[in-house]
Amino acid sequence: MSKTSYATRAAITFVALGAVTTATHAADFDWKKFQGKTVTFLANNNPVSQALLTYKGDFEKLTGITLKVDGYQEQQMRQRLVTVMNARSDEVDVFMSLPSREGEQFAAAGWYADLSAFSKNEASKDYDLAGLSQALLKAATFGSKLTSMPMNIEGPILYYRTDIFKKCGVEQPATIKDVEAAAQKIKACDSTITPFVSRGLKPAVAYTFSNMLHNIGGSYMANGKSNLCSAKGKEALDTYSRLLRDYGPPGVVNYSFQQISALYRTGRAAMSFESSNELRTVMEGGERLKDTALVPFPAGDAGQVPTAIGWGMAVSAYSKQPDAAWYFVQWATSPEIQKRMAVQGIAPPRPAVANDPEYRKWIDEEPVRKQWQAALDVLATKGSSEVGYPIVANPESRDFIGQAVQDLILKQKTIDQACADADKGLDALIAQK
């Protein structure tokens, strides 16, 4: 026998062996392990879960698990979740959670099942744990517990009208000061348009304000105490409230995403600083499709530190079947499903998916989508998940931030007063450990 044929035969055997081994490993992951079981999913009825649930049938076919879905609007869902969890009920197996807001709170209450072991040892080969945004995974980790798997990435971005900018001779703002200068110019140039709109509703302010604070280089806490009265903190409070007070719409103190998107979409605002999720709403009717540009919020002294958060899928600590629940979670956050959700407009928390050719095709269809994705890329790489104070009482801390901003918008307090009052309350909150 010639040397080559020996080698060839050896090679072929080797390859064959390898193929068989891989096939066995792939077959190692038994999707049908929990066939016949029922998993209950409490969903926040937003576009993320709506996109996910269009493939519900695929999941049930793949695993033989029956999926029971209960969908509610965000605040209602949270109310229901809190009631179920306070009663330590096993009614809910999987639920959607927002780590940036309630992660620490729920983790302290012991409501999350720890997913670190599951995600490392009981995931199919295709799951690609490492492909998920590390920043988002870190934001979902409290103590050493991985509390949820990221479903999407989102954050506030600046939408602005290219046609109005052109008309008033304004360039794309590169810094926060540019934003204010642009607002001033637009106000002088066209008095029927609201130059700038963003959130003023008390519980909602922290979402957009945090971005500005971080861009300016401020921080919520320093040395274990509330830091709003620092120079940077005051600058952020001042700038944000001034933009809304002088260049925002009347009644901005009640504004959250609904009114902001409605105002921008009807063409009554030149700049809108609001969630990336609102793209679909803003584009409804097509009027804003061609005259809108999107960028992450312009840089401050500390550059661009955009806020990047994401919804996560969590398993209830009281669930009687966490492993079956995990199957749903891993399927829902797998590359394949997130790719399909991406084409429906849900920004994926996986950089690899963002580069997938099918998704790119969808993105390239409209210039505004390209900019949207570009902005989200920045969020994915440079983003911070800190919205409000990094303490257990995060939701309550947002109220203090909102109160300070509202005091300034309504001119009810001076900056020093507003930040001092906020700090006082926040210090008390931080001390409640």
Partner 1 sequence: MASVANAARPDRQRAELAALSAPAVLFTLAMIAFPVVYTVWLGFHAFSSTERQSFVGLGNYSKLVADGEFWHGLWVTLALYALSLVLQLVLGIWLALLLFHAKRVPGFVRSLFISPFMMPPVVAGLMWLVILDPSIGAANYLLQAVGLPPSEWLASPIWVIPTVALIDTWQWAPYVALIVLGGLQSLPPSVYEAAQIDGASAYTTFRRITLPLLLPTIVTATILRSVDLLRFFDIIYITTQGGPGNASNTLNIYGFRVGFEFFNIGYASALMLTLTAVVFGAVLAFNRLRGAVAW
Partner 2 sequence: MNNTPLSESWINRLNFVQLVLAGILVMSPTAWMVLSSFKPSFEVTAYPPTLFFSPTLENYSQLIRTTPFFSYTINSLIVTLGSAGLGLLFGIPAAFAVSWTRISWPAVLTLAARMAPGTLFLLPWYMMFRQVGMIGSYTALILSHAVITLPIVIWVLLPSFDNVPRSIFEAAQVDGCSITRILWRIALPLVGSGIAVAAILSFVFSWNYFLFALVLSNGDSKTLIAAAFNFVGEGSTQWGALMAAATLIALPPLILASIVQRWLVSGLTLGAVKG
For partner 2, the binding residue among 30, 74, 365, 427 (CB under 8 A) is 74
Binding status of residue 54 toward partner 2 by CB under 8 A = no
Q: Any bridge partners for residue 146, and if so which?
A: 141
C-alpha 71/C-alpha 169 separation (Å) is: 47
Q: Is the dihedral of CA 318, 322, 328, 331 positive or negative?
A: positive
Count how many Cα atoms sit within 13 Å of the Cα of residue 124 in the half-sphere of its side chain: 24
Q: Does 352 engage in binding with partner 2 (CB under 8 A)?
A: no
Tell me the C-alpha distance between 51 and 44, whole Å: 12
Cβ distance to partner 2 smaller for residue 13 or 266:
266
Which of partner 1, partner 2, none is residue 410 near (CB under 5 to 8 Å by kind)?
Answer: partner 1
Kindly state whether residue 374 participates in binding partner 1, applying the rule CB under 8 A: no
Q: Which of 8, 35, 38, 258 binds partner 1 (CB under 8 A)?
A: 258
Of 367, 154, 369, give the one whose Cα is nearest residue 276.
154
Q: Quick one: 81 or 429, whose CB is closer to partner 2?
A: 81
Stretch of 66-74, 108-116, 120-128, 391-399 lying at the interface with partner 2 (CB under 8 A): 66-74
- Of the pair 258, 355, the CB lying nearest partner 2 is at 258
* Tokens of residue 311, six digits: 């919804």
Which one among 96, 139, 253, 270 touches partner 1, defined by CB under 8 A? 253
Which parts of 188-207 interact with partner 1 (CB under 8 A)? 194, 201-203
Residues 387-426 that bind partner 1 (CB under 8 A): 392-393, 395-396, 403, 406-407, 410, 412
Q: Closest CB to partner 2 among 32 and 88?
A: 88
Give the position of tokens 């033989």: 64
Q: Select 43 or 409, whichever has its Cβ closest to partner 2.
A: 43
Say how far residue 370 (Cα) sits from the centre of its chain: 19
Tell me how far apart the alpha carbons of residues 230 and 10 are, in angstroms, rounded to a whole number.
71
For residue 219, the Cα-to-chain-centroid distance in whole angstroms is 20
Residue 254 interacting partner from partner 1, partner 2, none (CB closer than 5 to 8 Å by kind): partner 1
Scan residues 7-66 and list those touching partner 1 (CB under 8 A). none
Question: Closest approach of Cβ 314 to partner 1, in Å?
Answer: 16
C-alpha torsion 244→250→252→258, nearest 10: -120
Q: How far, in Å, CA of 334 to CA of 329, rounded? A: 8
Q: Which of 31, 64, 90, 109 binds partner 1 (CB under 8 A)?
A: 109
The three-state secondary structure class of 222 is strand
Structure tokens at 287: 């009027």
C-alpha–C-alpha distance, residues 331 and 29, integer Å:
12
**Span 261-300, contacts to partner 1 by CB under 8 A:** 262-263, 266, 268
Chain contacts with partner 1 (rule: CB under 8 A): 78-79, 82, 86, 105, 108-109, 194, 201-203, 249-254, 258-259, 262-263, 266, 268, 392-393, 395-396, 403, 406-407, 410, 412, 432-433
